[in-house]
Structure 1
């Protein structure tokens, strides 16, 4: 199968290597060297942006995902690691094996001690990581949140896969269209503290208050903690507890694939509609066997690529994170920083049987 580069309007929202023990964390590290040796983080940030400044050589970037074995985040981080080579930097992925609220703290502390130029984090809990991130910033390290935001006062930028409102509202519309706008529905989320999940769910709930969804009833929000087996069990529990359930939204790649696996081998296949956020390769078999008709995602490779370039631009003084500044992001072109330091990758894309074979990630 050939890998397809998505059209500009779609690629934004479609939406594993050598191991090394971290001295202080006992976790996993994956490195991909650039072509120049890395310089230590600077002790102070530039007073103002200089868009004409070149990207510094030898920048050290570290990706800290929610958990190290999440397939979606592995794709994303690998793309960021590869992007760093384009500007002669080095990048690595480190992180915990679980997605608990406090599991990332020791990694932040270690990366700070190592003098990284930038820490890129997909936060398990927006506030739990705030203190350590502030300490890193005090030492001149740039903080870029991606996928799941940290509290705005604790980071410089947030690289958002799409408008949070658009993600939440579009998921409700997608499911409603497939079940005829009537019936009981449930949400299978990741962790209860995940910033992105909670924001999307709030918009889903708000969307459900609109008159056109008056015949839809949200009966439960369940949490699979971004764990495959727990998400599988939560799906089973939802279907047993709510025998009239018509549909499930799972806005997490781990959750939606686990739910699809359960439904595909159960009496609910063809009876209960499942949608959510997943990768094409992960969901292809379930689309082809009729378990899932439609789902959505952005391209995680593009998200990781953009995050790496944003971190490099910050560390080089090209941008400061202020609203209205413009970022040059390699092959993705220019992106403008919005309110609260947010950069949005782009709009949503829906996968179904008519297009899923065209993509390979």
Structure 2
């Protein structure tokens, strides 16, 4: 599909797409129809220029070593995001900022190479990236229109094709190449991401470990990253919502303090960081002390949790029979072991 418009000038034909069906139909370039059935039509004067200057300055752009090094700097880990479906990416704003930083505002631009192409609910458009008036790269940007999203319109989908094209064009400039490297992607997902179950979803979804929990999140998928587990049955999901207990290993315990403006009293909140990357807050010093012991002893604990709005607080903590070889086995806690067995469905 790339550079199809140069050929269209030769053949004196424009490819157009019907909005309602996505069907591609051919029309003579000088046709003066209303075009109401089409998502977009290139103007006749634009078609005349397509074959002449699209590749102006190709491979002649002089980029200094300093700018080249700046473009190819490693991506900051905190700038990377992940889609619920598991693809990591940089926000289009990052690419625009990097281009502005490297070449200066107004010294680069995207030029559309034709109209929008609609196939089903997906909109595509081809763009070329120019830097200081010279051709640098071209790519097809695409975006799916989500009819169920009340905040999205067809114009939003069309605008998003431009952002997607910027991301793809920047590959040719060496920007964020690691995001296209399979080994880097696998390592990032393993270290910084987690798969979770969401209420009503048939498949688990991804999020960053440091991100806020989904409002309808019901639990974390166990096993290796990317290992899709069977969806829990309705009873299991119900227990996950109602029985707020979790078996974890404590990785860290931190503390924050502040002043209550209403009472004038100081408060202390403890943050229990687990092996899943989650941060469970509590104001109970005893729970914080027990968490520190679990961290030092390297044994697993069972947390009793309470949900208030979008936050989950620890209201209880106990030892389990599960422990790490890095430490000594803790003393058995029959009451907590019974609860652990009940959670596993093995208690008689």
TM-score by length of 1: 0.23
Name the structure, 1 or 2, with higher relative contact order (CA <8 Å, separation 6+). 1
* Larger proportion of helix: 1
Scaled by the length of structure 2, the TM-score of the pair is 0.23
